[in-house]
Structure 1
Amino acid sequence: MMSPSNAQEDAKLDAMQRSWQSKRSRSLSLFEDLSSDSQLLAMPQASCSPSTKSLFSALQPKGKEEEGEVYSLASLQEQVVPEILEQVEQQPTYTVLDASTVGDFPAVYTVCSPERHQMPAVGVFVDKRIVPGFKYRVRPLPQIGQDPTMHKCLFNDSALTLKSIGRGYARRFTFEATDSLNNNENYFWSDNRPEGYAFELEVISEGDKFTIFDINKEAQGTVEVLQLEGPQFEISNVYSRQNIEKRANVRFTGKVEFYETGVAKPMPLSGLALAVKYKHKGAAEIVKVQNVVINKQRYTLLPGIQKIHRRVTVKGRDINDVPTQYSMHGLEPYELPVVGTYVDPRVIPGFHYKVRPSDRKEHLFGGRALKLLSIGMGYAKRLTFEPDSLLNPDNYLWSDNHPDGLGLEIRAVHKDMKFVIKAGDQILGEATVWRADKPQIEEKMEKVKTQSGKHAIEKYVHIDVMCHIAIAIPGGGCDESSERLMRVYGLAVVRKEPNRNEAHVIRVENVGLDSQLNVLFAQTHTELTFFPKK
């Protein structure tokens, strides 16, 4: 006899079989009614997302070949890619700042979303990366939905060192003074604008100079920052009791000069800059710039032009001498090298030079500029200078006396030299050299053929001297009571005639005066020329 429970289970199984058979028959009839694949593809896709619909419709066949169907990739890109890009590019236009997250009052601000390199500050909220001692550009943030870089930076769009951040509900940001310490106007309050401010870190600035070191820590040249290229992204900061360290990615155009070539040219550079703010110092210091690639070589930049590392390589075959090669360190850019068998071809007897060993700061011969009388021949050249006494001529040296080499600096204009100032044919006054201790730099040397068929040697030397200027008075002469001390710049032309043993200054052209008179002459297009007074 069948129990009631078994009868109920059999009834449920029969009902389930009938339901499954009815669903199967409906699905079969549906596929039988569809006559082609196009009808299947044309069915409504109610459950698909918009992007799925576009992709599904884009994959419709454009034609048939023997091996299969061909789909249009162009139509797929036109329909699907724009929608995907539109979804990816959608970014929030605002940022919610909660001051409680930085350990301050639980105030909440909604501001325009800053760029990745910007650090916001508004009300009592100050980004923890904003630290006194580092340089920042401060840009007012716009209203929500606008470009966060649409406003110009404060303080004439320049980066200044942040000196302090005040306390209280409204924070006062004080920056370094640019005009006067007693009247510093470089400050603002964090609640001056309800939209807030964005701070942009600047580790390196235009005009900064560095020494280039290779992987072996040997100096190879120098670089000067000409122009910054884009923002500087802070990637890390480390706080300790003794200092605060920041690292930032930097990009800039630098004037690169390698010691071996001596040629400077601008190049795009990038690297990782490291700056440290020490505890008892008011401003951060650049420690180094790493991973700088120049001509497919990786270098490190250290701040400042370290003259002791400057290297000059000279070769004897360049002057048709013994095929030797020397590397000298510590020469100034305006000094001419003399080492071993090598004497720079610009060193000419008859001109005046100051001599300095490359490993010292002091000059030989008491720092005086002496006239070079002769250069000997042989492996070690003897350089003989004008003696103090004809009975005991001891102002000479050998090119190999100093293993580190010598640097010779040309001197065209000396103390107490007198000049007549002319503008065309008109005499304007007289000038007497009072100080001539700044370097004088040789620009070029030329050989000029004379009427006798021989050649004179002319050197063009940049000078920067202090002179007593006396203005000429009508009727001739100069008014000595109205003498003025002025700084004079110019290009001195020094000429050594053939068969003469001494060179003389024949004129100083392209003269500039550190005075308001220079403005007057410039406005009237008057060129001043200094001629030696006879």
Structure 2
Amino acid sequence: MMSQSMQEEAKLDAMQRHWQSLRRGTPSSNILFEDVIETDNILALPIQNSHVESQIGACAPILKSLSCDLDSDSEFIDIHDCNVTPKSPFQIPETEEPIKGPLKLDASSLGDIPGQYTICALEPHQLPVVGVYIDPRVVPGFKYLVRPLPEVGKPSTMNKCLFNGKALTLTSIGRGYARRFTFESDKFIGNDNYFWSDNRPEGYAFELELLSEGDKFTFFNPNGEPEGTVEVLSIEGPQTEIFSSFKNGLVDKRATVTFTGKVEYYETGVAKPVLLSGTILSRKLKNKPRAEILKISRVNIRRHRYYLLPGIQKIHRRFTVRGDSINDVPTKYTMTGLESYEIPVVGTYVDPRIIPGFFYKVRPNDRRNHLFGGRALRLLSIGMGYAKRLTFQPDSLVEPDNYLWSDSHPDGLGLEPRAVHKGMKFVLESGDVVLGEATVFRDDLPQVEEHMERIKTPNGEAVQKYIFIDVLCHIRLARTGGASTENEEHLMRVTGLAVVRKEPKASEANVIRIENIGFDSQLLILFARTYPDLTLVPKIY
């Protein structure tokens, strides 16, 4: 018994001497007993710091000695007897983001004069230009934001961009020791948008801009079917160039873009702003002064992948209509190419907004020209049956031929409602005050029906439409005292909401007034202050 106890004490002394020697060899290793779990997590990370790697290598034997083999006959000691300190060598201290060092440039690497420069660190989307060093990715024909660089050690984005912060198209790069960079001008005479590459010893940063606010696209699914349109509302981040190609006079560039776009589906007609991102491809042809966007790929909209092609391609606009199963034949049609302001007619379907007594312009969907010589005619009647006959006001009562059937054109028809016509005269009023007269001179732009309502009256049901107009008018302002002269006539663009009403037993709808008047003139400022409720009322002879 005594011998067994002495053997155990000898083993305990040997183990303590072993641990003490390890503690003296590795001063910080005595804390491993506390944070074993944290140690496992740190070891699972990739080793990128040589200091941490050396610490882990030094502690490897300790970790090995800490492995617990439950089947072995080793004796264990109390952890609290090891004089444990609260710190761990594996706890990586929190450090700030490493500051990027200065960027050294050598123009001889580009086959140019061996000029060497040191500038501040750049962001991934910035291209350096300083002295004779011109980044080869800076190419005329593309748009760039130009930002003067600060001194070495300061962030490259601290200075404001040139040209009032606008991205301009680079038109040319001069030759010689000091290269002149010339950009497109926003003036008719003269051009102040230029500078020399050696104007600043700190240099310049060029930031590529392939996509700009206001650009419009049509988006397609992977099968090549168009599904809607996108308008760029704002750019949400830098456009980082990821690829450049120079071949046979063609310059191709790819960049990553993130932007907010107004997405409108053909099926719903509802437009909503959506945050989008993708890869944009732009190409500069040899004989063209500016690069053009070819495609934006890898764009996700509502968890579906699309690609965008430039321009709103109206020929792809799709519109689906369904016949009323109670009052009409239960049919379904999909029309392609219908304008947003046109009301559909196809097959057996006639949109319920099309009502006799109102004026319409008629356009077949498979062509750009309108029927009836492009005139807006009053609709007289809508026939019954499978194919409905639409009869318009005839040019001759002897041989009336201004009519068609709803199924005459397989691609359907688009009817544009018209409220105001060339030659119509109005009185400009504000309450009981007459301010002048207006005569419609041009009515070329579309007129859009905003909504329609049915009003019950003692004589039946009246139909009232609200149609947005945008016309040119000759406006003659009234003098104080009621007199007016011809030299006071002004040609102005007038916008407003025309209220058109068809009484229950009337055959023709009439304009009651035009409200929410807007003038493309400084007179609107005067009227807005003095007469806030301007209206145009049809002139009665």
Q: TM class, shorter-chain normalised?
A: 0.7 to 0.9
Cα deviation digits, residues 32-74 of structure 1 (max 9, x gap): 777256524532448997536866789999x99997999xxxx
Residues in 1 aligned to 2:416 and 2:20: alpha-carbon distance in whole angstroms: 94
Instruction: Tell me whether 1:496 sits opposite 2:502 in the alignment.
Output: yes
Deviation, structure 1 residue 285? 0.4
Residues in 2 aligned to 1:143 and 1:36: alpha-carbon distance in whole angstroms: 60
Residues in 2 aligned to 1:261 and 1:347: alpha-carbon distance in whole angstroms: 20
Residues in 2 aligned to 1:520 and 1:82: alpha-carbon distance in whole angstroms: 70
Aligned to 1:35: 16
Instruction: Tell me whether 1:193 sits opposite 2:194 in the alignment.
Output: no
Residues in 1 aligned to 2:18 and 2:276: alpha-carbon distance in whole angstroms: 59
Unpaired segments ≥5 residues, structure 2: 1-11, 30-49, 71-75, 80-84
Find the partner of 1:430 among 420, 437, 461: 437
The 1:78/1:529 distance shift into structure 2, 3 A limit, reads farther
CA contact (8 A) 2:345 2:351 kept: yes
The 1:495/1:76 distance shift into structure 2, 3 A limit, reads farther
Residues in 2 aligned to 1:82 and 1:531: alpha-carbon distance in whole angstroms: 79
Task: Using structure 1 for the length normalisation, give the TM-score.
Answer: 0.87
Deviation, structure 1 residue 354? 0.3
- The 5 A counterparts of 1:18-97 are 35=16, 39-45=20-26, 50-51=51-52, 80=90, 82-83=92-93, 86=95, 89-97=97-105
Letter in 2 for 1:43: R
Residues in 2 aligned to 1:316 and 1:36: alpha-carbon distance in whole angstroms: 95
CA contact (8 A) 2:28 2:89 kept: no
Find the partner of 1:99 among 99, 107, 130: 107
Find the partner of 1:475 among 471, 481, 484: 481
Question: Secondary structure at the residue paired with 1:183?
Answer: coil
Letter in 2 for 1:113: A
Aligned to 2:332: 325
Question: Secondary structure at the residue paired with 1:43?
Answer: helix
- The 5 A counterparts of 1:185-334 are 185-317=192-324, 320-334=327-341
The 1:340/1:221 distance shift into structure 2, 3 A limit, reads same
CA contact (8 A) 1:319 1:345 kept: no
Residues in 2 aligned to 1:80 and 1:491: alpha-carbon distance in whole angstroms: 73
Residues in 1 aligned to 2:456 and 2:295: alpha-carbon distance in whole angstroms: 52
Greater alpha carbon shift after TM alignment, 110-119 vs 45-54: 45-54
Aligned to 1:147: 155
Aligned to 1:353: 360
Aligned to 1:461: 467
The 1:108/1:468 distance shift into structure 2, 3 A limit, reads same
Unpaired segments ≥5 residues, structure 1: 1-30
Question: Secondary structure at the residue paired with 1:518?
Answer: helix
The 1:57/1:477 distance shift into structure 2, 3 A limit, reads farther
Deviation, structure 1 residue 533? 0.6
Letter in 1 for 2:281: L
CA contact (8 A) 1:45 1:53 kept: no
Residues in 2 aligned to 1:206 and 1:343: alpha-carbon distance in whole angstroms: 39
Aligned to 2:401: 394
**Count of matched residue pairs:** 497
Find the partner of 2:169 among 158, 161, 164: 161
The 1:504/1:143 distance shift into structure 2, 3 A limit, reads same
Residues in 1 aligned to 2:179 and 2:68: alpha-carbon distance in whole angstroms: 74
The 1:436/1:144 distance shift into structure 2, 3 A limit, reads same
What's the C-alpha RMSD, in Å, of the aligned pairs? Answer: 3.0
Aligned to 1:3: none
The 1:525/1:532 distance shift into structure 2, 3 A limit, reads closer
Deviation, structure 1 residue 90? 2.9
- Percent identity between matched residues is 60
CA contact (8 A) 1:34 1:40 kept: no
CA contact (8 A) 1:139 1:152 kept: yes
Question: Secondary structure at the residue paired with 1:438?
Answer: coil
Deviation, structure 1 residue 80? 4.0
Question: Secondary structure at the residue paired with 2:109?
Answer: helix
Cα deviation digits, residues 113-155 of structure 1 (max 9, x gap): 1101110000000000000000011111111111111111111
